[in-house]
Amino acid sequence: MGKDQALMSWKDVPFGLYIFEPGNSAQFKTGDWRSMRPELDKEKCVKCGSCYILCPDMCYEADEEGFYQVNLFYCKGCGICAAVCPKGAITMVLEEV
């Protein structure tokens, strides 16, 4: 482990370490260490929304057609969506690095 490296000089630290862009944690890519990712088979999907409800990271969002699509910027590949899908429409596949 190297020494902690500061991201900025103390001179550039924002006033009181305030965050002037609220909600900026959304910009933090948390889905970068996945080994498996979910793949949706639209033929089997009945748009029940179980994946959307049960995803622990709220990665699913409905698209224009009403299919729930995973956002891989945040998905960690836990596989809950695949396990709960009543139609077996979600398959976990190996993430290719």
Partner 1 sequence: MGKRVAMEVSIAIAEAVKLARAEVIAAYPITPQTHIVEHLSELVANGELDAEYVTVESEHSAISCCLGSVATGARTFTSTSSQGLALMHEILFIASALRLPVVMVVANRALSAPISIWNDHSDIMAQRDIGWIQTFAENGQEAVDLVLHAFRVAEDRNVMFPMIVNIDGFTLSHVIEPIVLPDQEDVDAFLPPFRPKYKLDPRKPISIGAVGVPEIYFEAKKAQDEAFKNSRRVILRAWKDFATRFGREYHPVETYRMEDAEVGLLIMGSLAETAMTAVDKMREEGKKVGLIRLRLWRPFPTKEFRKAVSGLPVLAVIDRALTPGASGGPVGTEVRSVLYHCARRPRVVNFVAGLGGRDVTVEDFEEMADRAFFYKKKRPKEAYELIGVRES
Residues that bind partner 1 (CB under 8 A): 4-11, 13, 15-20, 22
Judged by CB, which is closer to partner 1: 5, or 27? 5
- Shortest reach from residue 2's CB to partner 1, in Å: 12
Judged by CB, which is closer to partner 1: 4, or 63? 4
Buried b (16+ CB within 10 A) or exposed e, 26-43: eeeeebeebebbbebeee
Judged by CB, which is closer to partner 1: 9, or 27? 9
Give residue for tokens 């622990």: 56
